[in-house]
């Protein structure tokens, strides 16, 4: 099996998530754009999107599969079976990766040709800048070498974590919905700074880098987030006054409720 930078990657469906993965792989120099292929229902829109990156547009899923070593199915969950039934015999010798939400191993086994090598994943949009998360279902049918190669491919753009099928939903909610919640926090922090005269563009830049730096610090040091918070809060200082307001306003309970609302949808 070729190493990750020698692979031809095909996308069946080329919406936001597929484009984010492609963009990240190109940005990191992991896979060249001219080794990528994509198809989608709307040909004109597909051409506009693929031309931006220098990716080859394909007329249908069959052409995409034929040209690819790794096939990433990135259509809406309700379309996965319909799309793959048209090409399932052509997937022999290919690696099939799904990014469809809640479409896990057992569901694929119901309609794919027995012996098809497939893996279900859940990426998030920061893969576009090489700082994403890609959750991989523990149960899959890739060989050891195939999985090692896929992991190498994905680790260039994301933190890759193995998750059992029963927890893919909540892990996906945290990593997939989290960017929206974090963006709201960045916007709110910036609004507070703008209220006190800081220019909007600078406010966004400082808030965003603060989020990036804090996250990397936690990953690097492995410290409990509460300890990191305590390390910034001097007795009677400015930060603890802000923390006290967030507690009174129900900041943490609001975030917990947001996660819970997604899971109970």
Contact by Cβ (8 Å): 193, 206: yes
Characterize 2-30 residue by residue with b for buried, 16 or more Cβ atoms within 10 angstroms of its Cβ, and e for exposed: eebeebbbbbbbbeebbbbbbbbbbeeeb
Both tokens of 28, joined, read 């990191």
Contact by Cβ (8 Å): 240, 234: yes
| Alpha helices, DSSP H, located in the chain | 16-27, 43-53, 61-67, 77-85, 105-109, 144-155, 168-172, 178-195, 200-221, 225-232, 238-248, 251-263
Both 11 and 58 in one domain: the answer is: yes
Cα separation of the two ends of the chain:
41
Compute the distance between CA of residue 64 and CA of residue 41 in angstroms, rounded to an integer: 13
Average pLDDT over residues 116-134: 97
Compute the distance between CA of residue 41 and CA of residue 180 in angstroms, rounded to an integer: 27
pLDDT tens readout for residues 66-91: 999 999 999 999 999 999 999 999 99
pLDDT tens readout for residues 168-210: 999 999 999 999 999 999 999 999 999 999 999 999 999 999 9
Domain that holds residue 199: 172-263
Average pLDDT over residues 32-54: 96
φ/ψ bin of 236: left (φ > 0), alpha (ψ from -120 to 50), beta (otherwise) = left
Confidence of residue 250 (pLDDT cuts 50, 70, 90): very high
Domain count, the chain: 2
Both 10 and 136 in one domain: the answer is: yes
Please, how many CA atoms are within 13 Å of residue 84, restricted to the half-sphere of its CB?
A: 30
Contact by Cβ (8 Å): 97, 153: no
Last residue of a domain, one of 163, 181, 205: 163
Both 13 and 142 in one domain: the answer is: yes
Last residue of a domain, one of 163, 186, 217: 163
Both 155 and 211 in one domain: the answer is: no
Both 9 and 106 in one domain: the answer is: yes
Q: What is the pLDDT of residue 6?
A: 85
Compute the distance between CA of residue 255 and CA of residue 249 in angstroms, rounded to an integer: 12
Last residue of a domain, one of 118, 142, 163: 163
Both 135 and 181 in one domain: the answer is: no
**Burial of 181 by CB count in 10 Å (0-12 exposed, 13-18 middle, 19+ buried)?**
middle
Both 20 and 114 in one domain: the answer is: yes
Both 138 and 242 in one domain: the answer is: no
Both tokens of 205, joined, read 């830049």
Both 153 and 229 in one domain: the answer is: no
Q: What is the pLDDT of residue 2?
A: 55
pLDDT tens readout for residues 127-160: 999 999 999 999 999 999 999 999 999 999 999 9
Q: What is the pLDDT of residue 5?
A: 73
pLDDT at residue 1 is higher than 50: no
Sign of CA dihedral 212, 217, 223, 225: negative
Residue 98 forms beta bridges with which residues? 73, 120
Compute the distance between CA of residue 51 and CA of residue 167 in angstroms, rounded to an integer: 37
Contact by Cβ (8 Å): 7, 116: no
Both 22 and 100 in one domain: the answer is: yes
Kindly state the DSSP code that residue 175 receives in the 8-state scheme.
Answer: I
Average pLDDT over residues 207-225: 95
Q: What CATH number does residue 187 fall under? A: 1.10.3730.10
Characterize 237-263 residue by residue with b for buried, 16 or more Cβ atoms within 10 angstroms of its Cβ, and e for exposed: eeeeeebeeeeeeeeeeeeeebeeebe
Both 25 and 151 in one domain: the answer is: yes
């Amino acid at each position: 099996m070729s190493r990750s930078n020698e692979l031809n990657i095909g996308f069946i469906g080329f919406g936001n998530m597929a484009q984010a993965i492609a963009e990240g792989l190109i940005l990191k120099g992991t896979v060249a754009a001219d080794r990528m292929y994509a198809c989608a229902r709307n040909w004109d829109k597909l051409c506009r999107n693929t031309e931006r990156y220098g990716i080859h547009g394909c007329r249908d899923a069959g052409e995409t599969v034929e040209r690819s070593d790794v096939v990433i199915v990135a259509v809406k969950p309700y379309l996965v079976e319909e799309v793959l039934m048209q090409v399932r015999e052509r997937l022999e010798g290919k690696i099939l990766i799904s990014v469809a939400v809640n479409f896990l191993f057992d569901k694929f086994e119901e309609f794919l040709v027995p012996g098809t090598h497939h893996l279900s994943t859940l990426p998030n949009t920061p893969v576009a800048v090489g700082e994403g998360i890609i959750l991989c279902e523990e149960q899959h049918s890739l060989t050891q070498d195939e999985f090692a190669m896929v992991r190498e491919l994905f680790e260039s753009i994301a933190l890759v974590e193995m998750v059992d099928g029963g927890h893919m939903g909540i892990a996906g909610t945290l990593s997939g919905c989290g960017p929206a919640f974090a963006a709201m926090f960045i916007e709110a922090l910036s609004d507070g700074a703008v209220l006190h005269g800081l220019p909007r563009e600078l406010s966004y830049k400082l808030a965003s880098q603060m989020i990036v730096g804090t996250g990397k610090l936690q990953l690097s040091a492995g410290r409990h987030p509460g300890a990191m918070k305590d390390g910034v809060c001097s007795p009677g200082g400015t930060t603890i006054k802000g923390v006290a307001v967030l507690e009174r306003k129900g900041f943490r309970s609001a975030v917990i409720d947001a996660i819970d609302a997604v899971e109970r949808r």
